[in-house]
């Protein structure tokens, strides 16, 4: 399976897997900016992508940025649909206590390519019972 990328900025870096067996490819910033504590920013990548039919790209946080600096993705996983052809932007938020500087080329997110199921939707009068029933939000204990 091939995912095609087009650079729209000279500092853009094509996503790549850091290690064999990694689920996610590193995604890099193509801009320099600072995110203040409690603030969020749309970080440009300088990339346009063409996904294979029947797939999506999921954008996920990088664990190192999260634990060391409190930097995470505001909508995670962020979904990029196969038909989108605009620039990939990463919505980062600074949950840390210090301003966070982003540099061109910095790894800011992970991209996982995943299959998408298309389902038929049917309205019904009732749904089947299960042993779990309506239990949720901590119903199995801590």
List Cα–Cα distances, 34 to 17, 64, 70, 118, in angstroms: 26, 18, 14, 39
CA distance 101 to 105: 12
Q: 128 vs 63, 64, 99, 132, 134, CA distance in Å?
A: 39, 43, 51, 11, 12
Does 3 score more than 90 pLDDT? Answer: yes
Task: Indicate the CATH number for domain 4-115.
Answer: 2.70.40.10
For 103-118, what is each residue's pLDDT tens digit?
Answer: 999 999 999 999 999 9
pLDDT tens-digit profile of 127-138? 999 888 887 787
Q: Which two tokens stand for residue 142?
A: 């801590």
- Model pLDDT, residue 30: 97
Q: Region 72-100: what's the mean pLDDT? A: 96
Confidence of residue 14 (pLDDT cuts 50, 70, 90): very high
16 Cα distance to chain centroid: 15
Which pLDDT does position 137 carry in this prediction? 80
Cβ atoms of residues 83 and 129 within 8 Å: no
CA distance 129 to 73: 36
The residues, any chain, with a CB within 8 Å of residue 82's CB and separated by 6 or more, are: 51, 52, 53, 54, 55, 56, 116
Mean predicted lDDT score pLDDT of the chain: 95
Query: Edge-to-edge strands of the sheet including 4-7?
Result: 4-7, 40-50, 87-94, 71-73
The vertex-77 CA angle with 73 and 83, nearest 5°, equals 115
């Amino acid at each position: 399976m091939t995912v095609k990328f087009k650079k729209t900025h000279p500092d853009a870096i094509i996503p790549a897997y850091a290690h064999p067996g990694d689920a996610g490819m590193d995604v890099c910033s193509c801009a320099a900016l600072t995110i203040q504590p409690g603030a969020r920013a749309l970080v440009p990548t300088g990339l346009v992508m063409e996904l294979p039919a029947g797939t999506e790209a999921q954008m996920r946080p990088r664990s190192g940025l999260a634990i060391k600096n409190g930097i995470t993705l505001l909508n995670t996983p962020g979904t990029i649909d196969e038909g989108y052809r605009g620039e990939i932007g990463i919505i980062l938020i600074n949950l840390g206590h210090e301003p966070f500087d982003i540099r061109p080329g910095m790894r800011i997110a992970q991209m996982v390519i995943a299959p998408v199921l298309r389902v038929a939707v049917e309205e019904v009068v009732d749904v089947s019972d299960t042993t779990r029933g309506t239990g949720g939000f901590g119903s199995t204990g801590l």
